[in-house]
Structure 1
Amino acid sequence: MLTATYILVSLSVEQASIRMSLLAFQKYMHVQLRHQSSLSLAQLQYAGDWLNRLYQGSYWRKVEMYLIPAIRQATPHADGLLDGLLNELNGLNHAALESINAVQRRAGASIDHSELQAGQLCAAIDGFCAALLQRLEKEERELFALARKVIVGEAWFAIAYQFLAHDARAQEARRDKAQVLPFVLPAPLPAAGGSVAAPADGAAPALPVPAQPLRAQA
């Protein structure tokens, strides 16, 4: 059915946008922290803030808001399959949340301990991104296949209508207030001690700041 194909393609585009944001954030933080051993409190707070934004953003995806409820409503026979899959997906969410908690704990501890390892922060970011990227892959491979199996007929049209209404609200919000993508390259992070660290010889320079904020895609 063309409607089902449209919906799943739309979801795949949304998934790709989230995947790009996660990878961009991960790469940016690695570049910024590559030549540091200790961290400033500002760096930890910055990382924790963006990890939390990316995590919370996952709950406002069309997959969460429309597709999963539609699968639940499609047939009671899908409940066992869906519940098992959702338990696995929630486990990956929990792993990502643990990475955020680890960063926040270190930010709190930095009040009492002046030096925290940059490698620990990079490891937490890597764990966070790996968990959410694995969730995206599992959704595309298993959840979308389950949707094709159990959702039929008019239910696809109902989801398509929800998508159109969602996109219309997002477009209206963009007219009222500019929104940036989940991760936009910022100015270089201050090095531990408060000053912006100059790149060492041969090191990758700080990523450039866009001239204007990137607009969110509906």
Structure 2
Amino acid sequence: MLTSTYSLVAITAEQERSRGMLARLRQHFQNAWKGVVQADFGILENACQRLMQFDNFFRCRKIDTYLVPVMRMMGREAQSIVSELESLAARAAGMLDRIRQQLRSADTRAAPDAMRDLVSGYCDTVSLRLDREEHELLPLSRRLLSVEDWFSIAARMLADDGGRRGRAPRAIILPRGVSPAAQRALGTR
């Protein structure tokens, strides 16, 4: 039970951090649009750089790294929400690619409204994905995953967190009875 609590607290904290970052990003872009009107294209480039940094963070969250791979194998009900989340991720990635293309071209200076629409669409899509994760995926995971599944997820999170702090990740020792889905998701099978 403690491992599921740890996992959910870590994921929830990261969700809140993502929401805060997204809100600050939206505010930064609102300020950048004012700069574009005043012909300061550098402000917009800076805002787009922040958008790319946010996207890199967002794609590496714990929910995507640890929970979604396990949920993908939990049957039709879980597969449905996972597919929807992947579709939202693909939509956001497509918008981000178009933002990059516009940023590299001179079109951004001529048509800032198109860029604003893309950025707004990206932020709305990410926000929708966060909502779906919080209101559908997490409650479903609480219901479908076993204690052993949560233990495996928490063990992997802790091992990877230790590696990020400059320590070598410890080997994950799985208890008996860990589900095959969790073993596959952890790469131990």
Structure-1-length-normalised TM-score: 0.66
Would the alpha carbon gap of residues 46 and 35 (structure 1) be closer, same or farther in structure 2, given more than 3 Å must change?
closer
1:179 corresponding residue in structure 2: none
- Which structure carries more relative contact order (alpha carbon 8 Å, separation 6+)? 1
Would the alpha carbon gap of residues 4 and 40 (structure 1) be closer, same or farther in structure 2, given more than 3 Å must change?
same
- Cα deviation for residue 61 of structure 1 reads 1.2
User: 1:85·1:143 contact (CA, 8 Å) conserved in 2?
Assistant: yes
Q: Number of residues paired by the alignment?
A: 167
Q: Distance in 1 between matches of 2:147 and 2:155?
A: 13
Q: Between Structure 1 and Structure 2, which shows a larger proportion of helix residues?
A: 2
Q: Deviations over 1:93-125 (max 9, x none)?
A: 122123222322322330xx5842333333222
Q: Please, which of 152, 161, 175 is the counterpart of residue 158 of structure 1?
A: 152
- Cα deviation for residue 42 of structure 1 reads 4.1
Q: Please, which of 166, 173, 178 is the counterpart of residue 172 of structure 1?
A: 166
| Identical-residue share of aligned pairs (%) | 25
- Cα deviation for residue 20 of structure 1 reads 0.9
User: 2:92·2:125 contact (CA, 8 Å) conserved in 1?
Assistant: yes
User: 1:92·1:131 contact (CA, 8 Å) conserved in 2?
Assistant: yes
- Cα deviation for residue 70 of structure 1 reads 2.6
Would the alpha carbon gap of residues 47 and 94 (structure 1) be closer, same or farther in structure 2, given more than 3 Å must change?
farther
Q: Structure 1 residue 28 and structure 2 residue 28: aligned?
A: yes
Equivalent residues in 2 for 1:105-120, closer than 5 Å: 105-110=101-106, 115-120=109-114
Segment drifting more, 149-158 vs 51-60 = 51-60
Q: Distance in 2 between matches of 1:5 and 1:151?
A: 12
1:12 corresponding residue in structure 2: 12
| Matched position secondary structure for 1:172 | coil
| Structure 1 runs not aligned, ≥5 long | 174-218
| Structure 2 runs not aligned, ≥5 long | 168-189
User: 2:3·2:150 contact (CA, 8 Å) conserved in 1?
Assistant: yes
Would the alpha carbon gap of residues 155 and 101 (structure 1) be closer, same or farther in structure 2, given more than 3 Å must change?
closer
| Matched position secondary structure for 1:34 | helix
Q: Structure 1 residue 81 and structure 2 residue 82: aligned?
A: no
Equivalent residues in 2 for 1:92-107, closer than 5 Å: 92-107=88-103
- Which amino acid in 1 is paired with 2:25? F
RMSD after superposition: 2.5
2:60 corresponding residue in structure 1: 60
- Cα deviation for residue 39 of structure 1 reads 5.4
